[in-house]
């Protein structure tokens, strides 16, 4: 009979957060596919799990997916883990799950730790409607569009870019509520809540340390037009127009206050 794939979330920091079902699956698996065999071995050694490991990461994912599917077709049960949290969520695994489904193999997903969910709850921001943005984009226009979502946004960010990304948000909507969640479940866990302007100033010169999850409140529909209006103003100024008159023209066309546009433009410089 064919084997199956068991997707196993692992602790995001505190090794005691692993579930009993995940440990049972790891012990029973014929093979564990993992991002970094050294990191996974730390977890396995903690709980006395002796299992065969195979590296499975973003650089060999396509090749390994085919290899693992053949092993499962031959009867092997394969456990998939990432370095931390749920595989596939900004981690490798999508190609393997897709290949298993295409091959008619069973895929079992176990519940467990997730940095995105932990941060969402800790943020104290609305959780009825939310979206996960993965890692925030670096290009300003794409970042502005991400911040225009009308539901709570959860996203990963490099500590070095937290201040710059929040400065972009503050230019669009300085009062937007934000939570900066770092080192979740670890010894130095911290959740800092405040407005976009407050937190942009806080992290401008002193980036947070460790792994960071940003949780950003929903955009107010009344200010959603700021991003495209600001982009239009930026193009006019780059073409040689003077900022204040150009802001007035864009304000007349979009309804966004000229002062807000001018202030957002000058905050960029």
Strand, coil or helix: 218: coil
Ordered structural domains, the chain, with CATH:
4-109 (3.40.1010.10), 115-220 (3.30.950.10), 226-268 (no CATH)
Q: What is the pLDDT of residues 164-191, one digit of tens each?
A: 999 999 988 899 999 999 999 999 999 9
Q: What is the pLDDT of residue 171?
A: 87
Q: What is the pLDDT of residue 220?
A: 80
| pLDDT at 144 > cutoff 70 | yes
| pLDDT at 238 > cutoff 70 | yes
| pLDDT at 257 > cutoff 80 | no
Return d(Cα 197, Cα 175) in angstroms, integer: 7
Q: What is the pLDDT of residue 172?
A: 84
Torsion sign (Cα): 188, 153, 98, 139: negative
| pLDDT at 200 > cutoff 70 | yes
Return d(Cα 258, Cα 64) in angstroms, integer: 55
| pLDDT at 85 > cutoff 90 | yes
Across the chain, what does the average pLDDT equal?
93
26-40, 102-116, 177-191, 213-227: which has the minimum mean pLDDT?
A: 213-227
In the block, residue with structure tokens 């955009």: 219
For residue 55, the number of C-alpha atoms closer than 13 Å in the C-beta half-sphere is 8
51 phi/psi in degrees, rounded to 5: -145, 155
6-20, 57-71, 137-151, 215-229: which has the minimum mean pLDDT?
A: 215-229
pLDDT band, very low/low/confident/very high, at 18 (cuts 50, 70, 90)? very high
Q: What is the pLDDT of residue 126?
A: 96
Three-class HEC string of 137-203? CCCHHHHHHHCCCCCEEEEEECHHHHHHHHHHHHHHCCCCEEEEEECCCCCCCEEEEEEHHHHHHHC
> In this structure, are residues 120 and 213 in contact, taking their beta carbons and an 8 Å threshold?
no
> In this structure, are residues 264 and 171 in contact, taking their beta carbons and an 8 Å threshold?
yes
Report the chain's terminal Cα–Cα distance, integer Å. 64
> In this structure, are residues 225 and 257 in contact, taking their beta carbons and an 8 Å threshold?
no
């Amino acid at each position: 009979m064919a084997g199956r794939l068991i997707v196993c979330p692992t602790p995001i920091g505190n090794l005691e957060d692993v579930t009993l079902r995940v440990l049972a699956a790891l012990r029973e698996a014929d093979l564990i596919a993992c991002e970094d065999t050294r990191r996974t071995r730390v977890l396995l050694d903690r709980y006395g799990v002796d299992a065969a490991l195979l590296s499975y990461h973003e650089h060999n994912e396509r090749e390994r997916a085919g290899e693992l599917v053949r092993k499962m077709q031959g009867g092997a049960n394969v456990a998939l883990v990432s370095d931390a949290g749920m595989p596939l969520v900004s981690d490798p695994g999508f190609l393997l799950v897709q290949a298993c489904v295409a091959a008619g193999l069973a895929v079992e997903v176990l519940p467990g730790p997730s940095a995105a969910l932990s941060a969402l709850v800790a943020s104290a921001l609305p959780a009825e409607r939310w979206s996960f943005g993965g890692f925030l984009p670096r290009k300003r226009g794409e970042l502005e569009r991400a911040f225009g979502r009308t539901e709570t946004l959860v996203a990963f960010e490099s500590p070095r870019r937290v201040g710059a990304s929040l400065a972009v948000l503050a230019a669009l909507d300085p009062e937007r509520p934000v939570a900066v969640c770092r080192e979740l479940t670890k010894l130095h866990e911290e959740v800092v809540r405040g407005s976009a302007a407050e937190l942009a100033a806080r992290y401008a010169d002193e980036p947070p340390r460790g792994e960071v999850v940003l949780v950003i409140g929903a955009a107010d529909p009344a200010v959603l037009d700021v991003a495209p209006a600001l982009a239009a103003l930026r193009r006019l100024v780059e073409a040689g127009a003077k900022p204040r008159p150009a802001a007035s023209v864009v304000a007349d066309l979009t309804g966004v206050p000229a002062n807000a546009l001018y202030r957002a433009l000058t905050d960029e410089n």
